[in-house]
């Protein structure tokens, strides 16, 4: 497969993610392009912060003009109720876990200058680009206060939230490899290689806004269901599992065979309660269930989600 083909494949919308967005628009928050859900950690598997990173069109060196966080969220999610649930959920998990839940707004720059991020960097120095930092747990007169930070200030703000201090800069990965958004480019070039930054596929939030499910989606038809088993990503699963336990929540791993998802499609469902780091195989402590998307009774994903969002 050529590099261009690989990039097209990686950029393709996930069928199960689309199903969840379509059927649960007020409860499912997708970590899609320009609305990334990130779990941050140190020492590999120790969760320290959760962030929603949103790409917005604005002048990278002049900033937003007149837009509020409410304007941005409603524009991205097109549902005031899902926005309110996410804000309430952020407050809840910050209180339960004593970890910050933040929104980071960044300019939605593209690889427009010469087709490479390095050329974009020459036009907009990443240390001077403006970002917006909203800490959901901190309100003044009922409003979420925000900070306007230059790139270098944002690096220090993230390190403060993670309670770390590193002097190295950059992960060492190829700066011109395909990245979906500017924040991933910025963080790859700016933050220490010792920082763990994990993309979350989605969150399902209950109707009360006080509980959530971390959702990890895997798409593969080789091997097919039920032969497919979780492999690799042990440290990432451990980080997500530790975070879910810390906020008294759930972590679901959903695997499908890369076909259009409808009510008759089947998936592998894992409710992960822990990860055994000592095991090289079968390291996930979970009960696997083969579910249809929608059938009568409790053997369907639809039933499990419906039960959860009513908790």
At 54-111, the pLDDT tens digits run: 988 888 999 887 777 667 776 676 666 777 888 889 898 888 888 899 999 999 887 6
pLDDT score at 2 = 32
At 126-166, the pLDDT tens digits run: 999 999 999 988 877 777 788 999 999 999 999 999 999 99
The residues near 78 (Cβ < 8 Å, ≥ 6 apart) are none
Give the length of the chain: 311
Model confidence band, residue 7 (pLDDT cutoffs 50, 70, 90): very low
Burial (Cβ within 10 Å: 0-12, 13-18, ≥19) of residue 41: buried
At 239-266, the pLDDT tens digits run: 999 999 888 889 999 999 988 888 888 9
The answer to whether the pTM exceeds 0.85 is yes
Residue 188 has which token pair? 């790859």
**Which run of H or of E encompasses 2?**
none
The residues near 288 (Cβ < 8 Å, ≥ 6 apart) are 226, 268, 269, 270
């Amino acid at each position: 497969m050529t590099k261009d083909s690989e990039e097209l494949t990686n950029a393709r919308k996930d069928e199960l993610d689309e199903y969840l967005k379509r059927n649960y628009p007020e409860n499912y928050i997708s970590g899609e392009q320009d609305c990334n859900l990130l779990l941050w950690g140190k020492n590999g598997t120790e969760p320290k912060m959760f962030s929603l990173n949103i790409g917005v069109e604005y002048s990278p060196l002049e900033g937003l003009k007149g837009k509020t966080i409410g304007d941005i969220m409603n524009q991205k999610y097109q549902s005031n109720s899902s926005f309110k649930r996410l804000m309430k959920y952020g407050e809840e998990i910050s209180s339960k876990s004593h970890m910050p839940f933040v929104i980071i707004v960044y300019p939605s720059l593209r690889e427009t200058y010469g087709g490479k991020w390095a050329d974009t960097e020459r036009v907009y120095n990443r240390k001077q680009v403006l970002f917006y930092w909203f800490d959901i747990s901190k309100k003044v007169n009922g409003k979420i206060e925000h900070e306007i930070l230059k790139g270098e200030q944002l690096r220090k703000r993230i390190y403060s939230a993670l309670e770390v201090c590193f002097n190295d800069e950059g992960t060492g990965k190829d700066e011109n490899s395909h990245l979906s958004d500017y924040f991933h480019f910025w963080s790859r070039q700016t933050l220490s290689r010792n920082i763990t930054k994990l993309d979350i596929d989605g969150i399902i939030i209950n109707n009360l806004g006080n509980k959530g499910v971390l959702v990890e989606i895997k798409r593969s038809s080789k091997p097919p269901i039920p032969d497919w088993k979780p492999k690799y990503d042990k440290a990432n699963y451990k980080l997500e599992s530790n975070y879910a336990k810390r906020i008294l929540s759930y972590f679901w791993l959903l695997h499908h065979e890369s076909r259009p998802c409808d009510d008759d499609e089947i998936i592998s469902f894992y409710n992960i309660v822990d990860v055994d780091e000592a095991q090289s195989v079968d390291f996930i402590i979970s009960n696997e269930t083969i579910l249809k998307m929608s059938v009568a009774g409790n053997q369907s994903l639809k039933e499990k989600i419906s039960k959860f969002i009513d908790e």
